[in-house]
Structure 1
Amino acid sequence: MPYARYLLTLLLSLVLVPLLAQEPSQPVRLELPFDPIETEAEVIALPDSSLLVYQKTSNAWGTRATFRFTKYNSQLEEVWSDTASLAPDSNFLRYYSEQPYTYLVFDANDLQDYTFVRLHDKNGSIWHKKFEIDPIEGVYEYQVLQGNYFIIGQNRKTQKPLLLHLNPATGNIQLLPSVYGDESTFSDLLADPAQNRVDAVITESNGRVSRLQVKSFAPDGKLLKNYFILQKEDKSLLNAEITPGDSTRKMLIGTYGTRDLRYNQGFFTAPLAANIVANAEFYNMLQLKNFLKYMKPRREERTRRREASRLKTGRSPSYHYRLLLHDLIVTPTGYVLAAEAYYPQYSSNSRNIGAGRTITIGRQEEGYKRTHAVVLGFDRNGVLLWDNTFPLVGVTSYELTHTVEVQYLPDGRVVMAYPEDDKIIFHLMDEDRYNDQETELTLLTYTEDDKIQDTDQPGIIRWYGNNMAAFGFQRIKSKSGNSREVFYVNKISF
């Protein structure tokens, strides 16, 4: 009997390994005849497994523009399409979905003017209105609760972040109590329809220590509750994402630092109701099984040995990581948090002063280079279950924005992916089982005879189930020799 059980296990493993190693499929592709010179386009995943494609087509002078919104079902078949009469200088910024609506915000050349669009996901009916929001320039975050807009923007005068409430029915705009100090900023903004509240997570700092504060607001902007999350003496709470749920179950999951508040020393989880971190869990980088796997094995070994020695003697870690957090993903059993490790790239400004000599005037940031992305899985109580790492080779962004997409699959695995020309570079993670094999997927065209000559503005978003959507502009050459410019959407199934 034991032999039979062993044989059955062996046979199952031989069947499952090839299945797990299978390349993702691309069951359907959509091509739209968009001219990349005249057209701006965005793809948005809707909660009902459909896609919304936004298209702005302008003339060469920017004096006329058409704004079209088209919904496609899960098979990329058109469901409805309609246009909105927006000002030609309107530019898409952000969106938020709260069934049955999708809300979009646009700015304009006049930085005080913002246009809000509301689309009915099922029938495509469109409402839009322009508001003059004098206090801010730029919208960084945007959430909607019961038709009320919560907006994080930058103060026009002080350049500090601020939180606004806008009632689109009355046009009333109110400034909500939020950040105070020069070093304070927003860490997260979450609309929680089930609890009928919006939670704003604020990082407060005086340059030496940092703590977190959570403010909860009603749909009308009324302050419901204020939580001060006090840190331990030797740990400063830097940034955090907040979970949905009632006050007794809400948690903060984020990063902490020690002496230098620019760098992260590890991750923490803390129940919101406690107001202090006495009940928090802290995980330094050395406690994570795979965080350092982006290094060569010998370098990882040396790093772990050196840092363990420093901790034993009471010294602070010498590793320095800047982490850009992703939105928290809620799973059937807990939470998944992803983060990208990055560092600024600088260029020196030099001046020739003659005699073959130059002087360096200063350094200027040129972008942000990634080293790796990390994913951590937690249970409902904030206990770390596993971690995994995705090395990012040659991935750079000029602005500090997310460069990888993260999706939790129905079978419990996590996929991280980013576009690179006509390929998708991805990593499938099965909890803490690390795999250093780099995997890539070449985007398929309509026929094998089609050749991709150029890909521009590629992107990828999580969609539904085990599907993602890759999109961008391509120039395709057919077998007959004719070329066509298209905006493509490829469904990718893992």
Structure 2
Amino acid sequence: MIIQFCLFVPAKVQAQLEQSHRLEIPVNSSRSELFEVFTLGNSGLLSLIRGDENFGNRNENWEFTRYDTSLSPIWKMSFKLDFRFIPVMAYQGEHFGYWLFAQPDTDHFLFLQVNFSDGAVETYKGNLLSGIDVNQFKVIGSKALVAGYHRSRPVVLVHSFFDHTTRVLPGLYEKNTELNNVDINERDGIINVITYAYRKKNCVFEIKTYSYEGKMLKKTSLSDPRNSLISGQIVPLNADDSYLIGNYSVGCTPYSQGLYITHIADNEPESPSFIEFSELQNFFNYMKPKRRERVMERIGKRKSMGKENRFRYRLLVHELIQTDDEIVLVAEVYYPNQRAGSPMVTNGITRPYYARSLEGYRYTHAIVCGFDRNGKFKWDNCIPIKDLTSFELQEMVQLTPVNDYFILAYPQEGTIHTEVIDRNKVVVENEKFKISAKSESDKVLNNENAYLAPWYGQYFLAYGMQRVGPSSIGQGREVFYINKLTYKTENISKAENRDVKDMPR
């Protein structure tokens, strides 16, 4: 972060990330294992270990364990997954966790429901639709929503756990249409399906609203002669009044030009307010000072000449964070990581160009933007991300409100990077903290698959795979770790960048 572009709060520095508890689960080297963690707020967390059964048994063992906030176990439960089914997707509700399984080349699906309070399990079977490519799975009440594509057309299925019936939501099975989001409003029993369609050289953004029973209630179309909405999230105010917030492009492209917000009342959307990236105070702060200065000069020059500034950024927009008086948007800016491969060979002829293969994604920075409850854009900030890549496109930067601040953090190679902001002010610049082993006599020898998640209050969860041991000479032992981290915000103020250091135990 460049000091000349940031404002700071005068006070003494005492900002620190602390490692208060750590859980280490030994990895069984004799079988294949997968580990997952689901945060449950101040009710603790749920861990899942998936592993092969004993030799000769093709079923997979799923072991669930719920822990309290001090990482002590509360209950443990095992589920044997029929080898004929494969896991597709999970959904976390308030009181239950749900897992969707499919039997390949059939229309047979299986739903697993786990009660967070006591580990009680229920399973439901259903026949949905053969050949569906699932990309979203949610549960509202006693009904599962399974969304995806069938023969390249979008489809949303509603399956009842009680009577095992399946219904297809009407009005979605259209050509040149993409599913953007399936939004559920459990309070009012409403399902909103947001789609993006290319029609007659125009991009049309639509919200189709359905009742809990699957009946279409209304359709809201949003279009602009110059800009195309790429994504959208609904912030309901009441049954007939809401905001839609997302990012937009110029023309029908996936490259973002900026953000927008629009008010929808009585099924009629107002003209969106568009916020170009160049209008954000801190969007380009991830750049080095000279480069940022050149970019801002070029933007100002084009504006003075009456020319538009065109941007080509890919955004991964997180689920909106809502407080009593604010709506906060977090999004990472990323690029597909590609490399040149071997020369293309067609019919025995070597072509003078090279195939490019996708090798994950590279992140440059994350933006944070705040809107008030009247839908007005108020502030923005950003956190630079250096040399962070991921094989899967996933949310890396986590944001947690603590007192009057927002803590931004992301994991990288066994290190947690943090930044503290007060709306458009950076009050603690980038700090780095190493994730330590549980025993003081152990050292972390290797890190992989590190993840970070906001938990409750000022607490984070860091988890992943590490190899630990008393000496760097030996191979050590492989463990799946879960760390409870807390960020102390007392007397926060401007802080200088610090060297990587061990996190206090």
Structure 1 unaligned spans of 5+:
1-11
Amino acid paired to 1:302: R
More displaced stretch, 423-432 vs 25-34: 423-432
Q: Is 2:356 the partner of 1:363?
A: yes
**Distance in 1 of aligned mates of 2:64 and 2:105:** 24
1:382 alignment counterpart: 375
Does the alignment pair 1:484 with 2:448?
Answer: no
- Post-superposition shift, 1:71? 0.7
Cα pair distance change 1:110/1:392, threshold 3 Å = farther
Q: Which of the numbers 20, 43, 46 marks the counterpart of 1:49?
A: 43
Is residue 373 of structure 1 aligned with residue 373 of structure 2? no
SS in 2 for 1:56: strand
* Matched residue SS, 1:166: strand
Q: Distance in 1 between matches of 2:360 and 2:171?
A: 29
Letter in 2 for 1:478: P
Matches within 5 A, 1:129-168: 129-155=124-150, 158-168=151-161
Q: CA deviation at 1:492?
A: 1.1
- Residue 34 (structure 1) aligns with: 27
Residues 110-119 or 250-259, more deviating: 110-119
Comparing 309-318 and 484-493, the one that deviates more:
309-318
Letter aligned with residue 427 of structure 1: E
The runs of 5 or more residues in structure 2 that have no matched partner are 1-8, 488-505
Segment drifting more, 97-106 vs 357-366: 357-366
Confirm or deny that 1:97 pairs with 2:92.
Answer: yes
Identity of aligned residues (%): 26
Are the aligned partners of 2:228 and 2:252 in contact in 1 as well (CA < 8 Å)?
no
Q: 1:472 aligns with which of 457, 464, 473?
A: 464
Moved more, 257-266 or 433-442: 433-442
Say whether the 8 Å CA contact 1:339–1:374 is kept in structure 2.
yes
**Offset of 1:421 from its aligned partner?**
2.5
Distance 2:202 2:428 in 1: 37
Match of residue 194, structure 1, among 172, 187, 197: 187
Q: Judge conservation of contact 1:451–1:476 (CA < 8 Å) in 2.
A: yes
Aligned partners of 1:63, 1:341: CA distance in 2, in Å?
Answer: 42
Contact 2:344/2:355 (<8 A) preserved:
no
Looking at structure 1, the residues matched to 306 and 228 of structure 2 have their Cα atoms a distance apart, in angstroms, of 17
Deviation at 1:252, TM superposition (A): 0.5
Pairwise CA distance, 1:47: 4.6
Report the equivalent of 2:177.
184
**Equivalent residues of 2:244, 2:262 under 8 A apart:** yes
Q: How do residues 447-458 of structure 1 correspond to structure 2 at under 5 angstroms?
A: 447-458=439-450
| Counterpart selection for 1:115 from 110, 116, 129 | 110
Deviation at 1:237, TM superposition (A): 1.6
Write the deviation string for residues 343-372 of structure 1: whole angstroms up to 9, x where unpaired.
22333344399xxx9721543433322221
* TM-score of the two chains, using structure 1 as the length reference: 0.87
Of 216, 226, 239, the match for 1:234: 226
Residues of 1 paired with 2:157 and 2:142: CA distance?
Answer: 14
Once the two structures are overlaid, the 10-residue window that deviates more, 366-375 or 92-101, is 92-101
Q: Distance in 2 between matches of 1:415 and 1:85?
A: 40
The structural deviation recorded for 1:387 is: 0.9
Match of 1:310, SS state, is helix
Change (3 A) 1:471 1:178: farther
Deviation at 1:91, TM superposition (A): 4.7
* Residue correspondences, number: 472
- The answer as to whether partners of 1:26 and 1:491 remain within 8 angstroms in 2 is yes
Evaluate the alpha carbon distance shift between residue 25 and residue 227 of structure 1 in structure 2; reply closer, same or farther with a 3 A threshold: same
CA distance in 2, matches of 1:300, 1:436: 21
Q: Report deviation, 1:112.
A: 4.4
* 1:268 match: 260
Given the superposition, is the C-alpha separation of residues 289 and 347 from structure 1 closer, same or farther in structure 2, using an over 3 Å criterion?
Answer: same
Partner in structure 1 of residue 287 of structure 2:
295
Q: What is the rounded CA distance, in whole Å, between the counterparts of 2:444 and 2:262 in structure 1? A: 49
Query: Residue 8 of structure 1 corresponds to which residue in structure 2?
Result: none
CA-atom RMSD, angstroms?
2.7
User: Do 1:239 and 1:256's aligned partners in 2 also have CA atoms closer than 8 Å?
Assistant: yes
Displacement, 1:342?
1.8
